[in-house]
Amino acid sequence: MLYEAMELSELIQVFKRKVVIEDTAILIVWLNDQVYAIKDRCTHFGASLSKGTIDQNKVTCNSHGASFDLATGQLIHKPHIGPLKMPAKDTKTFPTVIKEGKIYIDL
């Protein structure tokens, strides 16, 4: 089902934004002229990915460095404390649709 998330022009200005739709926190990112929507919860200890860093095609969690592919949700780098790597898993992404200047997310 499609849910209206925000205006595309607003996302282009702010680059990233956290929204909550149907109790699901989602990070929306404008990158390389595309919109990405990824679950805003790190699969390691649940930190908000919207507080993380966007770099090329991924978002990196600020807590322990886990990074996820914005398009697929695939875990790219495992979380770590110093040299100690820790387990985490892939996360969820959501299809987006742009219609009449608004971003819709398919939940």
Q: Which residues bind ligand FES (CB under 6 A)?
A: 42, 44-45, 47, 61, 63-66, 79
Report the residue number, 34 or 45, with the smaller CB distance to ligand FES: 45
Closest alpha carbon to 42 in 16, 77, 12, 17: 77
Helices (H), the chain: 8-14
Minimum distance from residue 68 beta carbon to ligand FES (Å): 9
Rounded Cα–Cα distance for residues 6 and 88 (Å): 30
Amino acid at 18: K
Report the residue number, 83 or 101, with the smaller CB distance to ligand FES: 83
Closest alpha carbon to 28 in 12, 42, 44, 43: 12
Minimum distance from residue 93 beta carbon to ligand FES (Å): 16
Report the residue number, 38 or 61, with the smaller CB distance to ligand FES: 61
Minimum distance from residue 29 beta carbon to ligand FES (Å): 17
